[in-house]
Amino acid sequence: MRSNAGRMGVGLAVGLMLACGGAQAADVVGVAFVHGTGAQTDARADYWQPGIIDTVRLGLPNSANYTVINCDFTQYMWKPEAAGCLAGQLTTFINGKGITRLVVITHSNGGNVVRWILSNPTYDSRYPKIIQTVSKVTALAPSSAGTPLADAVLNGNTFETSVGWLLGYTNDAVRQQQVGHMATYNAQNLYGTAGRPALPRPFRAVVGSDVESAVWDSNSYCGGYAQNVGLEFTQNWLNSCSDGFLECSSQKAAGTTWFTDKQRTNGAEPLSHNQSRRECFGLGTILRNDLAL
Amino acid sequence: MTARLTIVVAVAAAVLAAPLQAAQPLLPARSSDQVAPRVERAALPDEAGERAPLSFAWALDPTQPLTAPAPQAALSRSYWETVDAAALQRGVALPLTAPDAVIQVSPVQGARVLRPEQWEVRDPTGALAVDRIVDAGQLRATGMPAGTGTAMVRTGGSAAVGTYRLQSTQAQGRYVVQVLEPNSAIALRLQADRQQVLAGGRVVVSARLQDDGGSTALAAGRSTTRALPAAGEALLVAPDGRSWPVPLVAGRDGLQAQVTIPQDVGTVQGLWELQAFVGARGVQRDAKVAFAVAQPTARFSGQAEADPTARAVRLPLQIGAPGRYEARGTLYATGPDGQLRPVAQAHSAAWFDAPGTAELRLPFASVALPRGYAAPFELRDLQLQDQSRMAPIESRARALTF
């Protein structure tokens, strides 16, 4: 038999060794913003909003060294449209800008797609260089252990030959983020959760712990009042510590917890799932200051 | 303090030059291991994937012990059912065991989409029991991809316990009704005995209806769990939507499903589910667990060659179907205290065009050993993945000592 690319020995072997030290003066630092579930074509405007991106990138030595990812994260994390697209855009960014030290900022399910790349370095020949270049992942409200809301969307969506899926086909990213599914992916395909090998790069979560949507409270309007009203309702489907979409335990399930919202936000305000991707309560400044570390 | 990364890139051919020890058998498989007894042919999926051989290794902190995660235990305080328009026009009985439930209604494809105000929920006394209601648009604004016409109702903290009625005289078609009782003391616990299985294999799933005092008591560690007599049924669901009923049989500690996986596992990627539906004296609960199913398209031959000097392991394979296969494993080294601890993780993958024999090589040498760590080594958590079909074929908790 024949291996298509030749014998085993021809492959690229890459090893990483961690040693103490700081960012080198010659480093070219870049930051990539990776959105959550959804198919994005203008994530800067539609998913993040420019405020937080422009605040964060001011922390770069060259504020032009940033990229906002636009991929189809309605797919399973390993699919060409998801991790494949992300790998392509990160590779183009790294090569085009000569980035040697990349900070990746993800939101929600974007953390899972990045964790797929970090956990599966031999799945795609672009992954090793990306992993080598990443200095850390800042995962804003990552859905590392899924969400009961994904289960709520899919419960009862059985397949009947005459009808198809009763509630219509729900995208694979939602299937993936069901709690039981993420437990299995975490045990088999992903690293960084309890008892599993560590990821090859730091993965630090920012945890949103509550939702405020009082009509008289101006803080409830940051990121969009209507979104926060909905998130306060969906909190009913979750346990007592949640950002309205994800339980805190899910956000903390992989990597390490950098901080839980109230520990660092202005006024000790909580970050709802909508606010953790917006310029709310000083989040952008916290992320900006972290770029230099 | 920040971390500085030192990257070592080496051509694997250089590693290949190192001598390997004579072949030795892999350690005997444990009952929790998954070993493919044979290999099978299979079609290649449309997305062929990467063709280049790749290896990658990174250091692990030996002070951080690794433990194989147990299969997830689902704990559910909710249930769902599909109801038709006639039942909804009369009013569907919804048993509630605790105040402040959440009810979600979603129209099946073709059913009439109703506005939130067209739904009525009444408590056991006949009084309206809608504390708050949100529509699909508000749910979607949260990021929850609720279908058109979905509505969610909260019954309220002061509401009574008992049989509620959900009604809409405007209903037309079928609807999926879900009830979540976050404050209920009664939950269904569902757990499979494994998270991966081969086609034609068996998964045992245990289901137990229990009174655990509720989420708050559980979180506070004040819970004393008591099993409740119950009956139910289960459904095995494939990623392509096919499903098979599975009996839930009463046993000493609740209910049990013996699930036999079909030989034809289909080609749609994703996890399989066992969904359980359990009821007892006015209580309904359902839950699901997920597991991976793999066709044995390749297998480890059962032999390996290891070189403690080069810290490399050569793993002969039998290939049954063309595709890309990956071996991954954790290297344990002996520490200054004589104990084995994890020091490195390595993956290696390559594409194989045709059935036959092949090999993958796990190279750990690029990762420096922590000070004081040395041979003897052990290779643990050895896995063989079918990357083309996204399926975990083999898994061995302890594979080799060298």
Contact call for residues B15 and B365 (beta carbons, < 8 A): yes
Tell me whether residues A196 and B66 touch, CB distance under 8 A: yes
Determine, for residues B146 and A153 on separate chains, whether the beta-carbon distance falls below 8 Å: yes
Q: Higher-confidence residue: B256 or A219?
A: B256
Contact A158 B7 (CB under 8 A): no
Q: Looking at the predicted structure, is the pLDDT value of residue A4 above 60?
A: no
In B, which residues are within 8 Å of A196 by CB distance? 66, 69
| A17 in Cβ contact with B368 (< 8 Å) | yes
Contact: A152, B195; criterion CB under 8 Å = no
Q: pLDDT at position A213, please?
A: 86
A5 at B interface, C-beta within 8 A: yes
Question: Which helix (H) or strand (E) segment is B217 a member of?
Answer: helix B215-219
Closest CA to B338 of B372, B310, B312: B372
Whether the Cβ atoms of residue A16 and residue A134 lie closer than 8 Å to each other? no
Provide the pLDDT confidence category of residue A216 given band limits of 50, 70 and 90.
confident
**Number of Cβ pairs closer than 8 Å across A and B?**
331
A11 interfaces chain B, CB cutoff of 8 Å: yes
Q: What is the pTM of this model?
A: 0.93
CB nearest to A200's CB, from B58, B138, B142? B58
| C-alpha distance from B185 to closest chain A C-alpha (Å) | 14
Cβ density class A106-140: b for 16+ within 10 Å, e for less: bbbbbbbbbbbbbbbbbbbbbbbbbbbbbbbbbbb
Residues lower than pLDDT 50 in chain B: 1-18
Residue B119 Cα distances to B97, B98, B114, B154, angstroms: 21, 21, 8, 12
- Taking contacts as CB-CB distances below 8 angstroms, the residues of chain B near A195 are 65-69
Average pLDDT over residues A29-51: 97
Domain boundaries, chain A: 29-291
A4 to B353: CB separation less than 8 angstroms, yes or no: yes
The per-residue pLDDT for range A68-82, each reduced to its tens digit, is: 999 999 999 999 999
Q: What's CA A261's distance to the chain center, in Å?
A: 16
Q: Which two tokens stand for residue B131?
A: 């504390």
Closest residue to B392, CB basis, from A108, A188, A293: A188
Predicted local distance difference test score (pLDDT) of residue B15: 39
Tokens of A218: 């101006």
State the pLDDT at residue B45: 87
User: Each residue of B296-341: pLDDT tens digit?
Assistant: 999 999 999 999 999 999 999 999 999 999 999 999 999 999 999 9
Q: Any chain B CB within 8 A of the CB of A226? A: yes
Best of A1, A94, A122 to substitute, by most chain B Cβ atoms within 10 angstroms, is A122
Question: Alpha-carbon distance B212 to B184, whole Å?
Answer: 9
Instruction: Kindly indicate the confidence band of residue A227, based on its pLDDT and cuts at 50, 70 and 90.
Output: confident
Sheet with strand B102-107: strands edge to edge: B78-84, B174-180, B102-107, B151-154, B132-135
Residue A57, SS3? helix
Does the beta-carbon distance from B2 to A239 stay under 8 Å?
A: no
Residue A293, min C-alpha distance to chain B (Å): 7
Give me the pLDDT at residue B12, please: 39
What average pLDDT does chain A have? 91
pLDDT tens-digit series, residues B4-45? 333 333 333 333 444 556 799 999 999 999 999 999 999 998
> What gap in Å lies between CA B5 and CA B49, rounded to an integer?
29
**CATH number assigned to the domain covering A29-291:** 3.40.50.1820
Whole-angstrom distance, CA of residue A175 vs CA of residue A151: 8
Q: Quote the pLDDT of residue A187.
A: 97
For A16-31, what is the mean pLDDT? 66
Tens digit of pLDDT for each residue in A236-283? Answer: 899 899 999 999 999 999 999 999 999 999 999 999 999 999 999 999
Please report the pLDDT score of residue B3 as a whole number.
Answer: 36
Residues B198 and B295 sit within 8 Å (Cβ to Cβ): yes
When pLDDT is averaged across residues A124-131 and rounded to a whole number, the result is 98
Sign of CA dihedral A241, A242, A244, A250: negative
The pLDDT tens digits for A174-187 are 999 999 999 999 99
* Touching B: A residues 131-190, CB under 8 Å: 131-132, 135, 149, 151-153, 155-159, 163-168, 170-172, 174-176, 178-181, 183-189
CB burial class (10 A; 0-12, 13-18, 19+) of residue B132?
middle
Which distant-in-sequence residues (6+ apart) come within 8 Å of A40 by Cβ? A46, A47, A69, A70, A71, A72, A73
Q: A233 and B132: CB-CB below 8 Å?
A: yes
